Structure 1
Amino acid sequence: MQQGNAVLTLVDGHDDESPSSAPDLGLHGLVLLAQFHGIAADAAQLAHEFGRNGESFDETALLLAARKLGLKAKVSALPAARLPMANLPAMAWDAEGRAFLLARIQGEQALIHDLSQRRPRQLALAELEQRYGGRLMQVASRASVLGQLARFDFTWFIPAIIKYRRMLLEVFVVSLFIQLFALVTPLFFQVVMDKVLVHNGLTTLDVIAIGLVCMAVFEVVLTGLRTYVFAHTSSKIDVELGARLFRHVLALPLAYFESRRVGDTIARVRELENIRSFLTGQALTSVLDLLFTVVFLAVMFWYSGWLTLIVVISLPVYALISAAVTPVLRKRLQDKFARGADNQSFLVETVSGIGTVKAMAVDPRATRTWDNQLAGYVSAGFGVTRVATLGQQSVQLVQKLVGVAILFFGARLVIEGKLSLGQLIAFNMLSGQVAAPIIRLAQLWQDFQQVGISVERLGDILNTRTELPGSRMALPPIQGRVSFEQVHFRYRPEAPEVLAGVELDVKPGEVIGIVGRSGSGKSTLTKLVQRLYTPERGRVLIDGHDLALADPAWLRRQLGVVLQENFLFNRSIRENIALSDPGMPLERVIHAARLAGAHEFIVELPEGYDTPVGEHGTGLSGGQRQ
């Protein structure tokens, strides 16, 4: 189920309808859904193209219009009980045929967009069922369909792994030889026990000893080679995956970062290393060892079917132990991650605001808060360790019981003459080779639960739609006309409107000032012009072009903005001034500094324009930073 998590935006330039012309709620709802999927649409243009002559769009016309916009739409009769499973946001009709948008259903609450009142509303599920008329139009764009198919999971890592498949194949071949050595060693011990000791074959003993030494040397060399290739390959995969993740983070909309703590986002990004380490490290080697277990079992069966049956019976027991531990372990891991993210956020916040902490003398309070949060994290970590240890020791107990059973029944077979002493020793060594990957697999299953939590946390980033869909295009060079047409905006669905019906037209070359009390929406206007946000209703135009069509990066490169709270990066003064154009000549940098009245104090600094400003500009005074 896909549900909308943001306020839906409506491109609507027709708020000035006369009372006699009833608004086409279905058409307005379709335009709203199109904008949610990143497709610019205009109600008046659609009405003109489909020649409705003032008539409201019926279901057939809405489906045709949706197809024209590149949307996949379907109208169906859906019982109210199945609405939580629908692909949301969607358009529904009430019993009287009035359209409204169903944005989200969470628990016993539903978020709708009342098209007649043009505002979002929160309804109880029972109220929604009374209002709902039984017809629902579900909409999806090609991009969203592909997005659902490409939801972040372990397959996100496959392209990088396939890219280095040759190196991983080398690891597979090396692992194969290591396992062959592990298979041959018990056979050598069998020969020593059954042939050398019985017949005093010292010459044979010399040959076997030399063979064992050679195998030991080769095994050490091959194991070291495998570790080296693994580390080399993992480093390359780390670079590629880290770069992909960082590009995605930078492409996320501003609203994503403003709705989450910095430390929480950092903690989620760091989960990438855990997942990569699991996939290219212990998981791959354990799977290779596990595959070779079949060969070991076949050789063991050749020795004794009954003893092999004891080993085989133990395998489901290992699986049952892992299945019993998994739910509890997963819950404890989620708690540990949540507390770790809280600690990360608090630490980042405290260090970033250390000046305020010291100035207000709240060090003791910050220390107490940190101690409490750290104690909670350690307690959660201990809970994870306790459950994991219980599972591991249970597996170890089963392994030891299997060893006792093999010794007991194997000795009886030796006494009965059905098995030689050398064969029993070789069988016991082989059973250890089978048990080792099984035990590692049990540990691997617990690690998999932790990695599953990491995938969920990292998925919060990678499953969030970026603000740079491929359909955006660069528009002609900006001349400077800025227009707002009946713009309505709110930061959250439940929050009051910051802007309500704003009309504004600034011609090229005009210089205007916008005044108002704090919180009246002055900064919001500039953010809408930069397309850091999109309006809930209405349009923002540059030179007559709807910003819903514009590539945000192209737009922002052509805008000069002095932010209310400027951020200085840990670079030189020159690099900070020329941040958007690193190749800017020094003359232009000096000209910009002169306009800002900063040139005089910059030239007095020891390194002039090459002076590092420090993190957050700590190398400058407060006035110099401003």
Structure 2
Amino acid sequence: MRLMRYLEHSELGRGLWTFRREFLWVGLFSLVANLLMLTPTLYMLQVFDRVMLSQSEVTLITLTLVMVLFTVVMAIAELVRSRLLVRAGVRFDEALNARVFDASFSAHLAQDGASATRAFSDLTNLRQFLTGNGVFTFFDLPWMPIYLAVLFLMHPLLGWAGIGFTLLLIALAIGSHWLTATLHERSSDSELQANSYLGSKLRHAEAVESMGMLPNLRRRWIGLVATQFHRREQSHEQQHRMQALGKFLQYSQQSLILALGAWLAVRGEISLGAMIASNALMANALRPISSLVGTWKQFIEARQAYKRLDKVIGSSRSLP
């Protein structure tokens, strides 16, 4: 409800809200895809715990055919939800292009060259995020507790280990936001300032050359670009550090969960199939958070683009 009220008070938000049906369908196909992602786990359990003991080739063939069928359905669900978002992105562009053009023109008339220049690139960034892989993370996150619950059914220690790694990755995602959001915003502001400065001077290129101002303007622009590159480098370095830490947690988690499963199997508390399946299940459980850490930069860019675009559209008037 809070999200609905927020969108209703924003012209851009109301434009996004018109695509709620497409997002509902994406959520439905995400449900199908995430349920079918349990197929490899169940397949491993059946192969190791039933086929290996019974030595039945018929059972193996039947299980394999069912697994392939479910995997094909899962791939189709992934494809359909991707196509839904791409089509929604095209319609989003078509619905807002004219309004963004009017807003950009009004900003230019109001001598706000920075907003006028940035409006269409902000629209492109927002559309690319809404149609990219990053948005799927938010549809997959609600399924993480389901995977953790299945781990608890296998063995409580596996479930608690899953919760521990989940909390570590959540802390990493929050830390990534705190450490990179401000740096990335400053980098974007510096880039916009440098581009706006260059654009305003190029519009008066003849006057600049005739008055002998070119060397001073060049030094000023080089200084702005140097500041932009320095801030961008800081932002990228911090992001790469967080991604490296995320990969360390991801890869170490796989080995540690396998070791824990092997220890439980040696003690006779779980089967060999559960040991193998728990590793794949843990990877599925942590995949959305790992994706969130990897796509956090795109999320920040999209959020900043939304705020700037909403401000430009809200402060402008519709042109005839």
Alignment check: 8 A CA contact 1:252 1:467 kept: no
State the distance in 2 between where 1:467 and 1:218 align.
48
SS of 1:419 mapped into structure 2: coil
Gaps of 5+ in 2: none
Aligned to 1:272: 123
Larger radius of gyration: 1
CA shift in 2, pair 1:156/1:414, >3 Å: farther
Deviation at 1:329, TM superposition (A): 1.4
Q: Does 2:312 correspond to 1:461? A: yes
SS of 1:243 mapped into structure 2: helix
Aligned to 1:177: 32
Aligned to 2:255: 404
Alignment check: 8 A CA contact 2:40 2:67 kept: yes
Q: Does 2:187 correspond to 1:332? A: no
State the distance in 1 between where 2:131 and 2:16 align.
8
State the distance in 1 between where 2:256 and 2:215 align.
61
Alignment check: 8 A CA contact 2:100 2:119 kept: no
Q: Which moved more, 1:200-209 or 1:279-288?
A: 279-288
Deviation at 1:372, TM superposition (A): 3.9
State the distance in 1 between where 2:251 and 2:121 align.
38
SS of 2:269 mapped into structure 1: coil
SS of 1:418 mapped into structure 2: coil
Corresponding letter in the other structure for 1:323: I
Aligned to 1:164: 19
1:273-422 matches, cutoff 5 A: 273-279=124-130, 281-282=132-133, 284-356=135-207, 368-422=219-273
Alignment check: 8 A CA contact 2:11 2:310 kept: no
Alignment check: 8 A CA contact 1:264 1:342 kept: no
CA shift in 2, pair 1:253/1:365, >3 Å: closer
Alignment check: 8 A CA contact 1:153 1:459 kept: no
1:122-133 matches, cutoff 5 A: none
More strand by share: 1
| Alignment RMSD (CA, Å) | 3.2
Aligned to 1:41: none
Corresponding letter in the other structure for 2:300: Q
State the distance in 2 between where 1:301 and 1:154 align.
43
Per-residue CA deviations over 1:71-93 (Å, capped at 9, x if unaligned) read: xxxxxxxxxxxxxxxxxxxxxxx
CA shift in 2, pair 1:314/1:153, >3 Å: farther
Q: Does 2:72 correspond to 1:217? A: yes
CA shift in 2, pair 1:327/1:304, >3 Å: same
State the distance in 2 between where 1:227 and 1:423 align.
32
Aligned residue among 83, 86, 91 for 1:228 = 83
Aligned to 1:201: 56
Alignment check: 8 A CA contact 2:103 2:317 kept: no
Alignment check: 8 A CA contact 2:41 2:278 kept: yes
Q: Which moved more, 1:336-345 or 1:211-220?
A: 211-220
Deviation at 1:346, TM superposition (A): 3.0
Deviation at 1:354, TM superposition (A): 3.8
State the distance in 2 between where 1:409 and 1:203 align.
32
Alignment check: 8 A CA contact 1:152 1:463 kept: no
State the distance in 2 between where 1:302 and 1:240 align.
48
Corresponding letter in the other structure for 2:190: R
Deviation at 1:279, TM superposition (A): 4.5
1:475-494 matches, cutoff 5 A: none
Deviation at 1:179, TM superposition (A): 1.4
Aligned to 1:437: 288
Deviation at 1:234, TM superposition (A): 0.8
Deviation at 1:368, TM superposition (A): 5.0
State the distance in 2 between where 1:365 and 1:241 align.
40
Aligned to 1:596: none
Deviation at 1:288, TM superposition (A): 1.5
Corresponding letter in the other structure for 1:387: Q
Alignment check: 8 A CA contact 2:7 2:17 kept: no
Deviation at 1:219, TM superposition (A): 3.2
Aligned to 1:186: 41
Per-residue CA deviations over 1:511-542 (Å, capped at 9, x if unaligned) read: xxxxxxxxxxxxxxxxxxxxxxxxxxxxxxxx
Q: How many residues align?
A: 316
Per-residue CA deviations over 1:409-464 (Å, capped at 9, x if unaligned) read: 21111011111111111111111001100112334555443334334433542453
State the distance in 2 between where 1:398 and 1:344 align.
39
State the distance in 2 between where 1:179 and 1:154 align.
34
Corresponding letter in the other structure for 1:170: W
Deviation at 1:467, TM superposition (A): 6.6
1:111-130 matches, cutoff 5 A: none
State the distance in 2 between where 1:367 and 1:252 align.
26
Aligned to 1:237: 92
State the distance in 1 between where 2:289 and 2:317 align.
46
Per-residue CA deviations over 1:571-604 (Å, capped at 9, x if unaligned) read: xxxxxxxxx9xxxxxxxxxxxxxxxxxxxxxxxx
- Identical positions, percent: 21
Question: Normalized against structure 2, the TM-score is what?
Answer: 0.84
CA shift in 2, pair 1:161/1:282, >3 Å: farther
Per-residue CA deviations over 1:139-179 (Å, capped at 9, x if unaligned) read: xxxxxxxxxxx989995544333323333333222222221
CA shift in 2, pair 1:151/1:415, >3 Å: closer
Question: Normalized against structure 1, the TM-score is what?
Answer: 0.45
Alignment check: 8 A CA contact 2:261 2:278 kept: no
Alignment check: 8 A CA contact 1:329 1:388 kept: yes
Aligned residue among 263, 276, 280 for 1:425 = 276
Alignment check: 8 A CA contact 1:329 1:384 kept: yes
